[in-house]
Structure 1
């Protein structure tokens, strides 16, 4: 009777045993008073709500540890195998938001074409492309080394350039295929292509890249099966015809009326 009973969850199993055990009888069990905690002093031990203490701690620990292990495995797996897909989805989402805002503006085109190229192909772009398209034909081109706004996030500059130009010309080489930023540029341009259903993307190969080397770039391979392209390597000595085809592609608004543009075969 004078034992100091603690009326908390540490004695919940004892209280439950006293109430339900049919083989052992605890004398005067219903007269035991609570000594601790102070808030329950004077109350009866068997009046304690033992049901509220029936939380399965072991099960909770099991669930928590399992979730932690799964999360620990999921994060590196996602980073290693799905990081580019997630990045692709992220930038497509940014492009979608940008396109929604752009449609509210009446005048949004500032260039005839945005030139997406790798820095290793800069000499070809400035030495071969610009003199013809800007110098002779008068097209207004957007180049990231020249026309991107300083201090502005690179991804915003890319999005502004793609959506601020009538078309995007991707100057594709082996270096281009290995560039992370070039990959993002062609992904955004292809999103605009499928979003607007217009011929806004021109693929220009400055190197003869075999089909098996394009195997890792499955999106580009799928695009080449459905779209026309230009090949500087196949143009050979017919540079005049090649640039004529480039100008035709820049002026053309209907993707379905454009043939395979490879230079001398046109």
Structure 2
């Protein structure tokens, strides 16, 4: 706009309803007075214009007149207001600068620098409050999400592995033909002899049931968690051989909890779990979800006598069938 006016010294564009400065005055290096008074300028938002004006203020004789413009005074325009304060000596008629606050109040800023400093303090306090509130909300949401994920961790895991499983489908509890196995036997490695020497001979060989035994029936090369969820889903019941080793084993407890999720989300809340206490364990050492099964009589203790064995295996058969 001003190219070719290198010798221009006074530029009077007052009373022109200007709302901002978006023109380039770098072509007027000899400019001494820029009169912008009596316009509608609330701030100079154009960064290039601000940079150019700042460079021109390197000349001690350069001055800007923003009088009788209603400047916008809030935290959003604080940078512009501080720019005025930092170059205060270059602003003409600065006693007549007006300021419009957020509450729409218009005030003449006779003590402009003091008011801007107070704005800076208020805005810093406001920014601190906003940051603290934002951080508080983020922490709350993070804690809430973490709490929900922890509360429903087994459901999330179950859904994840069932999604990966090619066997996933709803199975009614009374449909024996829809299951590959009568029961999945969940046990720790320390109880392998009990499973091999007693469970398999009695339940499979004598009773012609089909058991899923992880060391025998899991698919080689398949992820162990997927093997577990597939085994539970393909078995009518899950029998857990409860010992201290079982409670301390990650995968044993994984099998127990996946069977719980299977009961809730795939078997219409029909319980598929049955507990066999192979060792004496105090109730206080059991997880709460396991205690619920005990309270519902969905367990049996392994006996140490031959007569008790008859009752024991009869109860196990009844639980499976």
Query: 2:194 corresponds to which residue?
Result: 124
Query: 1:183 corresponds to which residue?
Result: 253
Matched, 1:205 2:277: yes
1:117–1:171 Cα contact (<8 Å) kept: yes
1:194-250 Cα deviation digits (max 9, x unpaired): 443445222111112222333xx1111112111331211x35222233223322322
1:49-98 Cα deviation digits (max 9, x unpaired): 6679358565345433554477579869987x887534223224447767
- 2:208 is paired with a residue of what secondary structure? coil
> Which deviates the most, 154-163 or 82-91?
82-91
2:158–2:229 Cα contact (<8 Å) kept: no
Task: For structure 1, list consecutive stretches of 5 or more residues without a partner in the other structure.
Answer: 9-26, 252-266
Cα distance in 1, alignment partners of residues 257 and 234 from structure 2:
16
Higher relative CO (Cα under 8 Å, sequence separation at least 6) belongs to 1
Query: 2:157 corresponds to which residue?
Result: 91
Matched, 1:138 2:204: no
What pairs up with 1:57-96 in 2 under 5 angstroms?
A: 59-65=126-132, 67-68=134-135, 85-94=151-160
Judged with a 3 Å threshold, the aligned counterparts in structure 2 of structure 1 residues 38 and 243 are, in CA distance, closer, same or farther, namely closer
2:161–2:225 Cα contact (<8 Å) kept: no
Name the one with the larger helix percent.
1
From 232, 240, 255, give the equivalent of 2:310. 240
Query: 1:30 corresponds to which residue?
Result: 38
- 2:38 is paired with a residue of what secondary structure? helix
Matched, 1:112 2:120: no
1:235–1:242 Cα contact (<8 Å) kept: no
The TM-score with structure 2 as length reference comes to 0.55
2:239–2:274 Cα contact (<8 Å) kept: yes
Query: 1:168 corresponds to which residue?
Result: 238
The structure that has the greater radius of gyration is: 2
| Number of residue pairs matched by the alignment | 226
Task: For structure 2, list consecutive stretches of 5 or more residues without a partner in the other structure.
Answer: 1-8, 12-19, 22-34, 54-64, 79-122
Supply the RMSD in Å over aligned alpha carbons: 4.5
From 44, 53, 57, give the equivalent of 2:76. 53
> Which deviates the most, 239-248 or 66-75?
66-75
